[in-house]
Amino acid sequence: MRRNVNVGIITSGGDCQGLNAAIRGVGKALFKYLDNVEIYGMYDGYRGLIECDYKFMEAKDFSGIITQGGTILGTSRQKYIPGKAIVDENGNDLMPQMLNTYNRLNLDCLVVIGGNGTQKSAKLLMDAGMNVVTLPKTIDNDIWGTDTTFGYQSAVDIATNFIDYIHTTAFSHSRVFVIELMGRDAGWLTLSAGIASGADCILIPEIPYDINKVAEGIMQRRKKGRLYSIIAVAEGAVSKDDVVLSEDERRAIKDRMEQPSVAYKVANQLKDILGTMPHVAVPGHYQRGGPPCPLDRVLATRFGTAAAHLIMDKKYGYMVGMQNNEIVPVPLSEAASRTKFLPKDHPLIQTARDTGIFFGD
């Protein structure tokens, strides 16, 4: 009789909605189709693999978790040198400890669930000789090779709801609100939530903004009797003045900023032009919390079961992705090679412009 199929599961990086649904999809499918399977849930992301800290998971552990946010395994961020090594705080290579755990548990495969950075670090595990299958999770929707990621739609729903509530007070007091949303260096979340909530201005990293054009748009609204404005700004939004700077120069400016984030910078700049201080609202990690929306529960489950089939077929070195509404295996080397930014000619941007939304360009 064939020995057990041994699988490790890791949730790495920032949390989001749908992680438990994905874990459940992997586990339930493996237990359904394999008579001899052992699943090891690594605690707190790569830390569990480094320190051999894990939970031996039984079939019952995968029940009743599809509605839960966060991750039952815990997660953490592990420092890594892009394309080279996963390291500790002192820069020491941690791959030997990770390989030791992998071999000690006699694993056939690691299922690594994470965002853009996790896909890159998972490739390092693959290059070191481990069998790896990955799943794309992030509210940023910025992973190359998949049309969408789980966690994204839940965050869009939350961000949209947040802006919906701001609308009433903005209208009642004829105020300008600057609402900062997540997304890192990609504008997918802010664009979708901005359109869905009827924001008046959307500022995203892919379209550098001119603060004078933003102010002009607000003043044009006032001339038409629209005395309030909602500006949805992505946390990675950048001005036309700053976009020409190098990454190090921009980081130095950010470190010197008195304002805590880009939303406050935009608000202060608008104050100098408009004469009144806009209000700032930042939902922050609220966007990553709570239960996954039904769409993300289904998507994460589809990704999880697809990962299980890849393991059963011994097809390692792939990320499970979605392309044209079909679940497909994407070579991890491809998924980890680049970031999926929002194209400037994306139809959603034109949709926004067609409805009168301006981008400060």
How big is the CA angle at 323 (ends 318 and 329), to the nearest 5 degrees? Answer: 15
* Selected catalytic residue, list 15, 44, 108, 140: 140
Q: Pick the closest to residue 192 from 361, 357, 325 (CA basis).
A: 357
Q: Which one-letter amino acid corresponds to residue 8? A: G
140 is annotated as an active-site residue: yes
Contact (CB, 8 A) for 232 and 193:
yes
Contact (CB, 8 A) for 303 and 251:
no
The count of other CB atoms within 10 Å of the CB of residue 115 is 22
Q: Which two tokens stand for residue 64?
A: 């009743």
Strands 109-114 and 37-42, sheet pairing:
unpaired
Q: Pick the closest to residue 183 from 106, 115, 126, 128 (CA basis).
A: 115
Taking the CA of residue 338 as centre, how many other CA atoms within 13 Å lie in the half-sphere pointing to its CB?
7
**Local structure of 323: helix, strand or coil:** strand
CA gap 97, 118 in Å, rounded = 18
CA gap 260, 171 in Å, rounded = 26
**Local structure of 93: helix, strand or coil:** strand
Q: Pick the closest to residue 41 from 24, 29, 18, 16 (CA basis).
A: 24
For the chain, report the end-to-end CA distance as a whole number of angstroms.
66
CA gap 131, 109 in Å, rounded = 5
* Residue numbers annotated as active site: 140
